[in-house]
Amino acid sequence: MKDFLAALGKRLKHNPTAYKNYRRIYVPEGHPLKCEPKEALRINVLFEHIQRMLSGDTVVIAETGDSWFNCQKLKLPKGCGYEFQMQYGSIGWSVGATLGYAQAAKEKRVIAFIGDGSFQVTAQDISTMLRCGQRTIIFLINNGGYTIEVEIHDGPYNVIKNWNYTGLVDAIHNGQGKCWTTKVRCEEELVEAIETATEAKKDSLCFIEVIVHKDDTSKELLEWGSRVSAANSRPPNPQ
């Protein structure tokens, strides 16, 4: 199978669109294909770097959606906390949960993964995080819409208005408290951002906007979405 997939990847190079989709999803032996220099950042590469950030002094909070599927694959070190809420599909819950967890467990550094659509629901909680002097790292996954919904039933209602997310957080910050924001579009920028957030800005709230392709999603979500779509499209069983 490994040789087959490798050969398939080579053949797909003649089809740029198919090859890009292949690179976004294919994960050989647990490791994603290495990004080319300045190549657009891929979700699987992002979470490979996230894995290296985790320790017993961190907590992972995964928003409902593809963030949850990707965080499920992380190997949590002893003492590393993990919170998620997938059962009820309550998008936006993680912003408030991040605020509450960081306030209750000040000895831990919370690392939150939040989709752009979910963030738009409860973005104002950033204000309280700053007022409380929290030092959370937020990875805002900007892929232009409700990706989890796209994989269940696509339509124009899954596309959202793109915000200047770092600009919004900077406006909320307004020079009061410790806050650092940045946008990353490639692996090189991601590495630099993580280094800054964990070293020079380790005592600040760090907001890292990760810009990725709208179709870049985990293979687990693709499978789950197809199953939910099939179940939802069936006529109800007569009682």
Q: What is the pLDDT of residue 1?
A: 47
Q: Is the pTM for the entire model greater than 0.95?
A: no
Q: Are residues 17 and 44 in the same domain?
A: no
Q: What is the pLDDT of residue 20?
A: 63
Q: What is the pLDDT of residue 110?
A: 97
Q: Does residue 85 lie within any of the structural domains?
A: yes
Is the Cα dihedral 148, 144, 52, 105 positive or negative? negative
Token representation of residue 209: 């906007």
Give the closest residue to 83 by CA, choosing from 131, 136, 158, 152.
136
Token representation of residue 53: 């950030």
Q: Are residues 17 and 40 in the same domain?
A: no
Beta strand 58-62 with 205-211 is unpaired
Q: Note down the domain range covering 24.
A: 1-33
Sites in the chain below the pLDDT cut of 70: 1-33, 86-87, 234-239
Q: Measured between alpha carbons, how far is 110 from 101 in angstroms, rounded to an integer?
A: 8
Read off the pLDDT of residues 159-180 as tens digits, 9 standing for 90 and up: 899 999 999 999 999 999 899 9
Give the closest residue to 109 by CA, choosing from 63, 66, 53.
53
Q: Are residues 28 and 76 in the same domain?
A: no
Query: For the chain, how big is the Rg over CA atoms in Å?
Result: 18
Q: Are residues 203 and 168 in the same domain?
A: yes
Q: What is the pLDDT of residue 183?
A: 98
Number of domains the chain contains? 2
Q: Quick check: helix, strand or coil at residue 184? A: strand
Residues 208 and 141 sit within 8 Å (Cβ to Cβ):
no
Q: Does residue 237 lie within any of the structural domains?
A: no
Q: Are residues 18 and 114 in the same domain?
A: no
Q: What is the pLDDT of residue 106?
A: 93
Beta pairing partners, 236? none
Read off the pLDDT of residues 209-225 as tens digits, 9 standing for 90 and up: 999 988 888 888 888 88
Q: Are residues 59 and 92 in the same domain?
A: yes
